[in-house]
Amino acid sequence: MSEQKLAAEVRTEFGKGFARRARMAGQIPAVIYGHGAEPIHITLPSKATTLAVRKANALLSLDIDGDVHLALVKDIQRDPIKQIIEHIDLLTVIKGEKVTVDVPVHVTGELAPGNVYNQELTVISLEAEATHLPTAVEVDIEGRTAGEHIHASDLVLPKGSVLLADADALVVHISEATESAEGEEAEAGEAAAASAE
């Protein structure tokens, strides 16, 4: 995953009043910390930052007065109603450094007919190189049948990643579709067909 380049400005003001003014001016307050250095309080351009952090574990290359800082998004605070970003916590990283990240688990493929799956884990903890963070781990369920289980140890991890989650953790299990589940699927199909008419 390549880093997203953003221009940042150092800020010397704090508090809710400043944060509100910054957001009205199209800026997002943020803080960079890590490696024992003093935290750096900055503002980031709202639109570009919102686009850059849509993916999990976004890596940002921040230009702060000519100095470039590599930083990993650790926490995003959003307005609970408007869902706009209110503040971002960033962790300084160094090329080649290994970091711990939670990566989304995506299920791909089609089960054998008459089966359904239940996804027990939607994210998995990995250790990966800060500048080559995976955006997702895929679980292929193509042709699988009832009674099969996929554990964390069965996952095909992106190159350079190490599993930190419990190897026995259940990620996906497959079972027979019950009549009610099949009925719901049929009803959903009928409803979709009716709405398309």
- Would you list the domain boundaries of the chain? 4-93, 99-192
**pLDDT band, very low/low/confident/very high, at 2 (cuts 50, 70, 90):** low
CA distance 110 to 112: 7
- Is a pLDDT exceeding 60 seen at residue 184? no
CATH of 99-192, one of 3.30.1490.190, 2.170.120.20, 3.40.50.720, 3.30.1490.20: 2.170.120.20
- Is a pLDDT exceeding 80 seen at residue 138? yes
| pLDDT at site 169 | 93
| pLDDT at site 107 | 93
pLDDT in tens, 37-80: 788 888 888 888 877 887 767 788 888 888 888 888 888 888 78
- Is a pLDDT exceeding 60 seen at residue 193? no
Q: What is the pTM of this model?
A: 0.64
**CB 71, CB 89: distance < 8 Å:** no
| pLDDT at site 17 | 67
| pLDDT at site 179 | 63
Averaged pLDDT, 85-114: 87
Angle CA(14)–CA(58)–CA(110) in degrees, nearest 5? 140
pLDDT in tens, 146-178: 999 999 999 988 888 899 999 999 999 999 988
**CB 12, CB 43: distance < 8 Å:** no
Q: What is the rounded average pLDDT for all residues in the chain?
A: 81
Superfamily per CATH, domain 4-93: Ribosomal Protein L25; Chain P (2.40.240.10)
What percentage of the chain carries pLDDT values higher than 90? 25
Antiparallel, parallel or unpaired: β 27-34 and 85-92: parallel
| pLDDT at site 151 | 94
Antiparallel, parallel or unpaired: β 149-151 and 170-176: antiparallel
